[in-house]
Amino acid sequence: DVHISPAETDYLRGIAAKVFPESAEYQPLATFSSLRPLLPSSGSATRASREHRIFYDDQGILRITGGKFTTYRAMSEEAADLVTARIAPDLHPMHVTAGHALNGNTQAAIDALLAEAPALAASYSLPESEVQMLVKQYGILTPAVLECMPAFASGDLSRLDSGRLIYAERHEMALQPRDFLEVSTTLALEGRAPVGFTMNA
């Protein structure tokens, strides 16, 4: 049962208030907590190393310990190097993804979509700023999200957010309201989560 404590909340709010003094007047809309896998160490967890260790254990199982989400590609490369060194030495020096943007989201592809934003906005009757926001969040998948958008708004969500919801259900395994509001989007954390919102059947 991972959760943030009142003391931790006060600590973070104190830091925020130093940077944004007016924030001290507001109550938090939501909180989130998670566990970080750390290498064994003595003393405070906050002082523990965020480094990773990748190794074969005594049973020959490849173990990945520690690390951070932000370094997962480097960790994956290191793990693949260990595996290929054992089973496919010819593949060992190959790092195909190292120079490739994830999901084909190259700068050229993003620039092309942003250039197309006015036409997409007109085609789907949206403000251009909303299409630009989609490009920043979904990259080259923006047209697929727009295709999910209904012709008319209904219920608690705007047309755009309805499209994002349908996309999340079809392609991002969103099953519960929290999946959409907190993972696929940040609507809940922005204080825009609809009251009584339910997922489509």
Q: Is the pLDDT of residue 31 over 90?
A: no
pLDDT in the model for residue 199: 79
Whether residue 17 contacts residue 176, with contact meaning beta carbons closer than 8 Å, is answered with no
Q: Which amino acid is at 116?
A: E
CB atoms within 10 A of CB 41: 11
Task: Identify the H or E element spanning 53.
Answer: strand 52-56
Report pTM.
Answer: 0.62
Each residue's pLDDT tens digit, 35-93: 777 777 766 666 667 788 899 999 999 998 888 878 888 899 999 999 999 999 988 87
pLDDT in the model for residue 146: 97
Q: In Å, what is the CA distance from 59 to each residue of 9, 55, 135?
A: 43, 11, 46
pLDDT in the model for residue 201: 46
pLDDT in the model for residue 34: 82
Q: How far apart are CA 57 and CA 154, in angstroms?
A: 55
Q: How far apart are CA 94 and CA 106, in angstroms?
A: 21
pLDDT in the model for residue 195: 67
pLDDT in the model for residue 45: 66
Whether residue 51 contacts residue 44, with contact meaning beta carbons closer than 8 Å, is answered with no
**Average pLDDT value for residue range 164-176:** 94
Instruction: Report percent pLDDT > 70 for the chain.
Output: 94
Greatest mean pLDDT range, 34-38, 122-126, 149-153: 122-126
Instruction: Report percent pLDDT > 90 for the chain.
Output: 50
Q: Is the pLDDT of residue 142 over 70?
A: yes
Q: How far apart are CA 102 and CA 96, in angstroms?
A: 12
Q: How far apart are CA 138 and CA 142, in angstroms?
A: 5
CB atoms within 10 A of CB 157: 19
Following DSSP, what letter does each residue of 133-165 receive, concatenated?
A: HHHHHHGGGHHHHHHT--SS-BTTB-HHHHHHH
**Average pLDDT value for residue range 116-137:** 96
Whether residue 50 contacts residue 67, with contact meaning beta carbons closer than 8 Å, is answered with yes
**Average pLDDT value for residue range 23-30:** 88
